[in-house]
């Protein structure tokens, strides 16, 4: 059979894409001047929050950047996807928050790449909200643990925090520990449901706890290009939020859904898939355009730095 035929098959094309993605040192991105600290947040469940946390982190790590994922969701799904141990008894974000261990002691390296690290979540984290109430600096426990000495010692370029889909002390700790919020929004019915309340909460935290907090990106997820609905939702989100919305969108993908069941990111599970390439491109866009800094009176939404084309 003609060799050219095999080169043109979908399987061969996917294999070539996978080989390009997974080739060591083939990809590189500029390092930020200081550690970019980001939380992925949306109070609406099922929008791809954890999936986006781990796959954006993996995409940045594949580009040669050193990335830490902090799992603050008691379900521990981010920990599972990164292949981190997170059974009861393992040092985790719970022990770190209540002061029983340091961030360095809870740190685990992902098996995916030497640039990707995780502080896992265990089921013990489920009861931490009650314990934190009576603690000193209860809103800043995570910020104190991820202090500048720790970040400098380990040389992290990015810290990405995956928090639960509710506004409790865990989410507040995530938002006081970072400067940036990335909001995943699914391209489906009721896409903006709950986003208004999230914006209000970010504004309150910005006013009372963390004046540096702002939304630096909005990521459209579960985009099905075959439907008119997805296009309409995307247009509505872009019209509402403007250039803070990333150009790259994440397609609805079976591979993205399957990957966590194997304890992997989609970039590890099927690096040649559309979902893997989409997250890789989104990570690249986030790194290349830098932080969208808020301007005066812009509220929690970031704006492009002066001089950037939108």
pLDDT tens-digit profile of 125-147?
Answer: 998 999 999 999 999 999 999 99
DSSP class of residue 126 equals G
Instruction: Output the six-digit token pair for 283.
Output: 């990570």
More confident residue, 190 or 75: 75
Region of poorest pLDDT, from 12-21, 152-161, 175-184: 12-21
- Strand ranges, E, within 8-79: 36-40, 67-71
Structure pTM? 0.89
Instruction: Output the six-digit token pair for 289.
Output: 């355009």
pLDDT of res. 305: 54
Q: Is residue 9 very low, low, confident or very high in pLDDT (cuts 50, 70, 90)?
A: low
pLDDT of res. 6: 46
pLDDT of res. 257: 86
CA 151 to mean position of chain CA atoms: 18
CA 251 to mean position of chain CA atoms: 16
Q: In what order do the strands lie in the sheet with 108-109?
A: 108-109, 116-119, 67-71, 158-162, 36-40, 180-186, 214-221
Q: Is residue 190 very low, low, confident or very high in pLDDT (cuts 50, 70, 90)?
A: confident
Nearest Cα to 197, choosing from 223, 171, 173, 216?
171
pLDDT tens-digit profile of 252-310?
Answer: 989 998 998 888 999 999 999 999 999 999 999 999 999 887 665 567 787 655 444 43
Length of the chain: 310
Q: What is the mean pLDDT of the chain?
A: 87
For range 190-209, the mean pLDDT: 88
The values of phi and psi at residue 216, to 5°, are: -100, -15
**Contact (CB, 8 A) for 301 and 240:** no
pLDDT of res. 260: 83
Asked if the model's pLDDT at residue 150 lies above 60, the reply is: yes
The domain ranges of the chain are: 39-289
Asked if the model's pLDDT at residue 26 lies above 90, the reply is: no
Highest mean pLDDT among 17-31, 218-232, 282-296: 218-232
DSSP class of residue 222 equals S
Q: Which residues contact 211 (CB under 8 A, 6 or more apart)?
A: none
**Contact (CB, 8 A) for 67 and 94:** no
Angle (nearest 5°) at CA 204 between 203 and 205: 95
The terminus-to-terminus CA distance of the chain in angstroms comes to 49
pLDDT of res. 8: 55
Distance CA 50, CA 249 (A): 16
The values of phi and psi at residue 301, to 5°, are: -85, 130
pLDDT tens-digit profile of 27-81?
Answer: 678 899 999 999 999 877 778 899 999 999 999 999 999 999 999 999 999 999 9
Torsional class of 5: left (φ above 0), alpha (ψ -120 to 50), beta (otherwise)? alpha
224 three-class SS: coil
Distance CA 240, CA 218 (A): 11
Instruction: Output the six-digit token pair for 151.
Output: 């970040």
Longest CA–CA span in the chain (Å) reads 72
pLDDT of res. 298: 64
For range 222-246, the mean pLDDT: 90
More confident residue, 163 or 5: 163
Just give the CATH number of 39-289.
3.40.50.300
Q: Which residues contact 4 (CB under 8 A, 6 or more apart)?
A: none
Please state, as a whole number, how many other Cβ atoms lie within 10 Å of the Cβ of residue 38.
23
């Amino acid at each position: 059979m003609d060799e050219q035929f095999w080169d043109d098959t979908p399987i061969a094309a996917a294999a070539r894409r996978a080989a390009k993605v997974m080739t060591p040192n083939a990809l590189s991105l500029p390092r930020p001047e200081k550690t970019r600290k980001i939380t992925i947040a949306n109070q609406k469940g099922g929008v791809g929050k954890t999936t986006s946390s781990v796959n954006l982190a993996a995409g940045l790590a594949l580009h040669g950047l050193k990335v830490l994922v902090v799992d603050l969701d008691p379900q521990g799904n981010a920990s599972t996807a990164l292949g981190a141990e997170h059974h009861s008894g393992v040092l985790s974000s719970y022990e770190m928050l209540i002061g029983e261990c340091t961030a360095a002691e809870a740190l685990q390296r992902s098996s995916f790449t030497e640039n990707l690290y995780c502080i896992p979540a265990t089921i013990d984290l489920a009861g931490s909200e009650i314990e934190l109430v009576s603690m000193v600096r209860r809103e800043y426990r995570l910020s104190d643990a991820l202090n500048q000495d720790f970040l400098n010692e380990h040389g992290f370029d990015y810290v990405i925090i995956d928090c639960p889909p509710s506004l409790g002390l865990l989410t507040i700790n995530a938002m006081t520990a970072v400067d940036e919020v990335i909001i995943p929004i699914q391209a489906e019915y009721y896409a903006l449901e709950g986003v208004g309340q999230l914006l209000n909460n970010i504004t309150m935290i910005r006013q009372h706890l963390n004046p540096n907090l702002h939304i630096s990106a909005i990521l459209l997820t579960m985009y099905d290009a075959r439907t008119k609905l997805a296009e309409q939702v995307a247009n509505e989100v872009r019209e509402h939020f403007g250039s803070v919305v990333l150009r790259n969108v994440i397609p609805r993908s079976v591979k993205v859904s399957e990957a966590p069941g194997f304890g992997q990111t989609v970039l590890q599970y099927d690096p040649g898939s559309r979902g893997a390439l989409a997250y890789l491109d989104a990570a690249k866009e986030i790194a290349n355009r830098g932080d969208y800094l808020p301007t005066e009176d812009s509220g929690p939404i970031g704006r492009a730095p002066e001089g950037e084309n939108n």
